[in-house]
Amino acid sequence: MQPIGYAVVGLGAISQQAVLPAFAHSRNARLVAVVSGDREKAHRLAAEFGSPHYYSYDQYSACLKNKFGGDSGIYRDTAGRARKVYCPGCAREETRAV
């Protein structure tokens, strides 16, 4: 069985300390993209954790359109209010993607 690819949206402390490192140890999941309000942070963490793709919140729609070569999902580590402020299209785009 091929691992499921995940995009991690929101690169705060929980993502950096727990979620992203967990992908390195998983046989069933692989990190395929990271998304942040800070594109440089996304680029740095993508390189650090082996993600081939990184996006800013402004590019979230492009992330959702990328098929990442197989089954994929999204792990979102953003609070409701922050999601509305920093990624207003997230809920709308995810509804269409599902």
Domain containing 54 — which CATH number? 3.40.50.720
Query: Domain span at residue 83?
Result: 4-97
Of 90 and 12, the one with more pLDDT: 12
Give the pLDDT mean for 74-97: 51
Total count of domains within the chain: 1
Instruction: With cut-offs at 50, 70 and 90, classify the pLDDT of residue 81.
Output: very low
Has this prediction a pTM greater than 0.85?
no
Cβ contact 51:31 at 8 Å: yes
Cβ neighbors of 59 (< 8 A, separation 6 or more) are 35
For tokens 């979620």, name the residue: 19
The dihedral built from the CA positions of residue 47, 13, 21 and 33, taken in this order, carries a sign that is: negative
Dihedral over alpha carbons 7, 9, 14, 17 (to 10 degrees): 50
Question: pLDDT of 6-61, one tens digit each?
Answer: 889 889 898 999 999 998 889 988 899 999 989 999 999 999 999 999 999 888 88
